[in-house]
């Protein structure tokens, strides 16, 4: 049986040759345990959902560490070269799983960044005399997410000494924010 550690090393070396960003080099080193799992699963011949889950996790890690889409698209081919299994039946699905994991991580990061723009003080305009105008436009449609966001905004406003707020936005986030403001003693006027 071939040495899994040597295969992982060869895979990493191929990825290094295809790396185009400094982050690519760092994440290659940070991903050896996932690579070892993928190699172990490929060598066992039991390429079921586990190899695809590990591949998706590798794609997520690549995106989260700022890796390039180029490296993400090439890494499974490099694994197959190191394993000497070009055209393996699991390779196309593993390649897709890496891409899906990479894209999902970027999508989640973009959603998180968009939601962060609605946090206090980004959603507030001071009106003077202890009053604020609050934009209640949080993009979530999840009531728990809206309630948590509204509580954070209301608490931050209360800590700044706000006593009155004019709240505008779509009905659900506006209602969540008005309720949270009431709990902390801030008078809310909905527009």
The confidence score (pLDDT) of residue 114 equals 84
pLDDT at 111: 87
Distance between CA atoms of residues 157 and 125, nearest Å: 11
- pLDDT of res. 122: 92
Q: Which carries the bigger pLDDT value, residue 114 or residue 7?
A: 7
pLDDT at res. 42: 94
pLDDT(29) > 70: yes
Instruction: State pLDDT tens for residues 32-91.
Output: 999 999 999 999 987 678 999 999 999 999 999 999 999 999 999 999 999 998 888 899
Q: Is the pLDDT of residue 1 over 70?
A: no
Please determine, for residue 180, whether its predicted confidence score (pLDDT) is greater than 90.
Answer: yes
Dist. CA 35–CA 44, nearest whole Å = 14
> How is residue 4 written in tokens?
């899994």
Return all residues near 191 (Cβ < 8 A) that are at least 6 apart: 166, 167, 168
Q: Which residues of 142-160 are buried (b: 16+ CB within 10 A; e: fewer)?
A: eeeebeebbbebbebbbee
Question: What does each C-alpha distance from 161 to 90, 117, 155, 185 come to in angstroms?
Answer: 60, 22, 10, 10
- 125 forms bridges with which residues in the sheet? 133
How many CB atoms sit inside 10 A of residue 11's CB?
Answer: 25
pLDDT band per the 50, 70, 90 thresholds, residue 2:
confident
Give the three-class secondary structure for 186.
coil
pLDDT tens, 140-178? 889 999 999 999 999 999 999 999 999 999 999 999 999
> Where in the chain are the domains?
4-113, 124-190
Cβ burial of 7 (10 Å; 0-12, 13-18, 19+) is buried
Instruction: Report d(CA 37, CA 97) in Å as an integer.
Output: 15
Q: Are 139 and 176 in contact (CB under 8 A)?
A: no
Q: Residue 165: CA atoms inside 13 Å, Cβ hemisphere, count?
A: 33
pLDDT tens column, 95-117: 999 999 999 999 999 988 888 88
């Amino acid at each position: 049986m071939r040495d899994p550690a040597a295969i992982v090393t060869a895979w990493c070396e191929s990825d290094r040759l295809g790396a185009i960003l400094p982050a690519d080099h760092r994440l290659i080193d940070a991903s050896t345990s996932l690579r070892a799992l993928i190699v172990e699963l490929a060598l066992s011949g039991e390429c079921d959902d586990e190899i695809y889950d590990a591949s998706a996790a590798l794609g997520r890690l690549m995106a989260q560490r700022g890796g390039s889409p180029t490296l993400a698209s090439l890494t499974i081919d490099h694994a197959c070269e190191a394993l000497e299994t070009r055209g393996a039946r699991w390779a196309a699905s593993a390649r897709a799983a890496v891409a899906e994991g990479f894209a999902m991580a970027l999508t989640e990061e973009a959603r998180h960044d968009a939601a962060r723009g609605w946090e206090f003080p980004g959603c507030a305009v001071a009106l003077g005399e202890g009053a604020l105008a609050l934009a209640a436009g949080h993009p979530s449609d999840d009531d728990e997410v809206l309630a948590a966001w509204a509580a954070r905004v209301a608490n931050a406003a209360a800590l700044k000494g706000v006593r009155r707020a004019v709240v505008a936005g779509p009905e659900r986030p506006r209602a969540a924010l008005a309720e949270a403001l009431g709990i902390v003693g801030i008078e809310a006027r909905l527009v």
